[in-house]
A and B are shown apart, each in its own frame.
Chain A
Amino acid sequence: DAGVIQSPRHEVTEMGQEVTLRCKPISGHNSLFWYRQTMMRGLELLIYFNNNVPIDDSGMPEDRFSAKMPNASFSTLKIQPSEPRDSAVYFCASSRGKVGSYEQYFGPGTRLTVT
């Protein structure tokens, strides 16, 4: 099994630029989660999808953040415009979303630096 795939692994951009993070969940998983991790705030759930439909986006910090899941094998998290305070590691995770099997499998993360 390939695991959750995220790209890019590292992104350095200037303030005001658009940033797009990508995620490919594990095949057969129907739930997908986007997290952000910083030293100050720890691990935060931004948004999650079930069967490609956004279920809860209450963790998205502001309108500059948006996420899509056009099909079962691909999701994007976009920040436009980016700001230095968006610097963090962004993780994507997926799960089967079935009774008794809610554990999530995390990707390696994208380290974003906004200068």
Chain B
Amino acid sequence: GNSVTQMEGPVTLSEEAFLTINCTYTATGYPSLFWYVQYPGEGLQLLLKATKADDKGSNKGFEATYRKETTSFHLEKGSVQVSDSAVYFCALSDGRSSASKIIFGSGTRLSIRP
């Protein structure tokens, strides 16, 4: 079945450091891929998405590229800020029908030190 594996946290970085959170997936066909972010006390928010191979999703300085050859969708940011502290979820949807659900990874907690 479809699944998502992301690096375990917590990840702690200093402000302005480079961020990578690894995500790999298993799926048949051509899923859509997502990164969601959850700030403390809030629901999940869509951060970025990519719907086909080699697409790059980007938002708020974050980027992720859909790599079909390595079945990966790693999240990167060149210079993190304290306000980026949150839990990040990688996810996929097989998109086979209008009733498709999203498969979420287990989440990676990111903490940024001032």
A-B contact count (CB 8 A): 55
Size range of the chain A interface in the assembly? 20 to 34
B114 CB–A CB distance under 8 Å: no
19 contacts between A and B (CB under 8 A): A4-B43, A31-B98, A31-B99, A42-B106, A43-B104, A98-B98, A99-B98, A100-B95, A102-B100, A102-B102, A103-B34, A103-B49, A103-B93, A103-B102, A104-B46, A106-B44, A108-B43, A109-B42, A109-B43
A50 to B96, CA, bound (A): 14
What are the residues of chain B within 8 A of A55 when measuring CB–CB? 99, 101
Closest residue on chain B to residue A55 by CB atoms:
B99
Q: Point out the residue from A30, A100, A107 that lies within 8 Å of B43, measured CB to CB.
A: A107
CB distance from A10 to the nearest CB of B (A): 11
A interface residues, Cβ below 8 angstroms from B: 4, 30-31, 33, 42-43, 45, 48, 50, 55-56, 91, 93, 97-100, 102-109
B51 contacts chain A at the CB level, 8 A cutoff:
yes
Task: Using CB atoms, name the residue of chain A closest to B92.
Answer: A102
- Interface residue? B22 (CB, 8 A): no
Nearest CB to that of B46 among chain A residues? A103
Query: Which B residues form the contact surface with A (CB < 8 A)?
Result: 32, 34, 42-46, 49, 51, 89, 93, 95, 98-102, 104, 106-107
- What is the bound-complex CA distance between A108 and B32, given in angstroms? 24
Contacts of B51 in A (CB 8 A): 100
Complex Cα spacing A103 to B102, Å: 8
Residues of the B chain whose Cβ atoms lie less than 8 Å from the Cβ of A93? 43-44
> In the complex, A97→B42 CA distance in Å?
23
- Tell me, in angstroms, the Cα distance from A67 to B101 when the chains sit together: 17
